[in-house]
């Protein structure tokens, strides 16, 4: 008789999904739950229904990797349409106001100048339609009921803002951004509109990367459902070490099963507070962190996470 509890599949891995537009991240999670037979499924970094692209989905005990994967920088291809502001800062919202679009805004020279000014660290005011919780209430729920949440600006970092093109007829810029965790591209679009003396909102968004991971590595929901029906969904998992983008240390299969610290010499060289992956026989057993002269456990997996080697 199987020792697995109800809702447990024995699977533990990282699955990259190419989320279509019109679907929530939670909808994707539910599809993966059905395909795997695993109740413990989560994701690292929410995508709005408007957005498509890379969603990192975690299956089984691998859900414990979420804090480490959500903190990665994100890459997006965005369309920013000038001339109107919406209550959600994207094309799904109601139009609040309209404004003329200065002719120079639709020149590549002006676009390059504005985008260059966005680079670096700054404070960003999040949209009212966001999942931020204040006083136990979620901002977007308050906004939908006609209320306003007192949101605080958040520290963000725009690492790259590359102009992909200008559509004069559609009054739209296409931009590829690389941004830090917690950055709202919708809010970037809103603020760009104000910066050029007009109004703007996000008309399309596609996530193309998350840390070292690319949307080119992802699978469609149809492919995932097919693999689930065939019992081969584990073959779609990626190497979690590649997802984490950390150094890996190979050890004996039982070296960390009880969460014991490791001598720093095991790591050969290690910088202070470095996170390292502990691996054996093609699986991720644990995450350890350097502390003084030892490596100490941060996450130990009772069921190791599968590696694609």
Give the separation between CA 157 and CA 73, rounded to whole angstroms: 9
Q: Pick from 187, 197, 133: which is nearest to 158 by CA?
A: 187
> Strands 52-59 and 74-82, how do they pair?
unpaired
Q: Pick from 214, 182, 242, 202: which is nearest to 18 by CA?
A: 214
Residues 6+ apart with CB under 8 A from 75: 160, 176, 177, 178, 207, 208, 209, 210
Among 18, 48, 89, 239, the one annotated catalytic: 48
Respond yes or no: is residue 48 known to be catalytic: yes
For the chain, what's the residue count? 309
List, in sequence order, the alpha helices (H) in the chain.
Answer: 25-36, 66-70, 108-118, 139-144, 185-195, 221-230, 240-244
Core vs surface per residue 86-120: b (16+ CB within 10 A) or e: bbbbbbbbeeeeeeebeeebbeeebbeebbeebee
Q: Residue 234: how many CB atoms within 10 A of its CB?
A: 17
Q: Which residues are catalytic?
A: 48
């Amino acid at each position: 008789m199987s020792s697995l509890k109800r809702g447990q599949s024995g699977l533990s891995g990282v699955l990259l999904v190419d989320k279509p537009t019109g679907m929530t991240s939670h909808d994707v999670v539910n599809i993966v739950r059905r395909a795997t037979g695993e109740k413990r499924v989560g994701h690292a970094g929410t995508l709005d229904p408007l957005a498509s692209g890379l969603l990192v989905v975690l299956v089984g005990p691998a859900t414990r990797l979420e804090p480490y994967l959500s903190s990665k920088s994100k890459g997006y291809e965005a369309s920013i349409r000038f001339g109107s502001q919406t209550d959600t800062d994207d094309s799904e919202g109601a139009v609040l106001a309209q404004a003329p679009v200065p002719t120079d805004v639709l020149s590549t020279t002006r676009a390059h100048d504005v985008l260059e000014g966005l680079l670096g660290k700054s404070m960003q005011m999040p949209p009212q339609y966001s999942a931020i919780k204040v006083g136990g209430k979620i901002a977007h729920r308050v906004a939908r009921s006609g209320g306003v949440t007192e949101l605080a600006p958040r520290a963000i970092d725009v690492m790259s803002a590359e102009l992909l093109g200008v559509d004069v007829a559609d009054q739209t810029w296409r931009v590829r951004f690389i941004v830090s965790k917690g950055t709202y591209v919708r809010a970037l679009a809103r603020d760009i509109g104000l910066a050029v003396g007009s109004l703007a909102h996000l008309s399309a968004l596609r996530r193309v990367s998350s840390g070292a991971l690319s949307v080119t590595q992802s699978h469609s929901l149809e492919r995932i459902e097919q693999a689930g029906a065939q019992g081969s969904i584990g073959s779609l998992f990626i190497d979690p070490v590649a997802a984490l983008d950390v150094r890996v240390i190979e050890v004996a299969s039982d070296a960390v099963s009880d969460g014991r610290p490791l001598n720093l010499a095991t790591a050969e060289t290690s910088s202070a507070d470095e996170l390292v992956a502990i691996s054996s026989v093609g699986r991720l057993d644990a995450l350890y962190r350097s502390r003084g002269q030892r490596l100490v456990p941060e996450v130990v997996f009772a069921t190791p996470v599968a590696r694609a080697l």
